[in-house]
Amino acid sequence: MKISDIEKIRIDIQSEGISALSLMISRTGDMMRQGTGNFPANDFVACSDIDPNIFMQLIEPLDKNIFREAAVYDHPDKSGQPITYSVAFQDKEEKSLIFEFRFGTQTQDTGELLPYIESFISRAIMLTNDWYKLEEQEANQQ
């Protein structure tokens, strides 16, 4: 998969069956987000269109070589709270490349790929935070 092929991105952060973040963003600006990525989880779900440039800002800094690393990484040491990060990239033909990391909040020696994926997730959260907060405020006013 090439960066230019990406049409949708799905990001999930879960622990013990509880979702701290579920985010789906498309190249056309379709957006769905639940949560902030932190515990305790925020259950508010927002769905609407956003500026498609946000998608472009998210994928622009991606390393084109990252996709050959797509796999499930199940760390044997899940010290602390168990966490699962999942990032899926989908192309026009709906083919997906998935990165999944299962580890613990106190797991040591997670390698170089997990911090890269964490940085990508953080960027997605940051780029969509204003939109998410506004959607939540508007829902609370109704």
The pLDDT of residue 123 is 97
> CA geometry: angle at 71 spanning 118 and 98, to 5°?
70
Place of tokens 């990525």: 37
Residue 141: pLDDT band with limits 50, 70, 90:
confident
Burial of 31 (0-12, 13-18, 19+ CB in 10 A): buried
The pLDDT of residue 128 is 96
User: What is the average pLDDT across 45-56?
Assistant: 94
Q: pTM for this one?
A: 0.94
Torsion angle of the four alpha carbons 139, 10, 110, 1, in this order, in degrees rounded to the nearest 10: -160
pLDDT per residue over 95-120, tens digit each? 999 999 999 999 988 888 999 999 99
Structural contact between residues 79 and 107, judged by C-beta atoms closer than 8 angstroms: yes
Per DSSP, what are the bridge partners of residue 46?
33
3-class DSSP assignment, residue 11: strand
User: What is the average pLDDT across 7-36?
Assistant: 96
What average pLDDT does the structure give for the chain? 94
CB burial of 81-118 (b: ≥16 within 10 Å; e: otherwise) equals: eebbbbbbbbeeeeeebebbbbbbeebeebeeebeebb
Q: Does pLDDT of 16 surpass 80?
A: yes
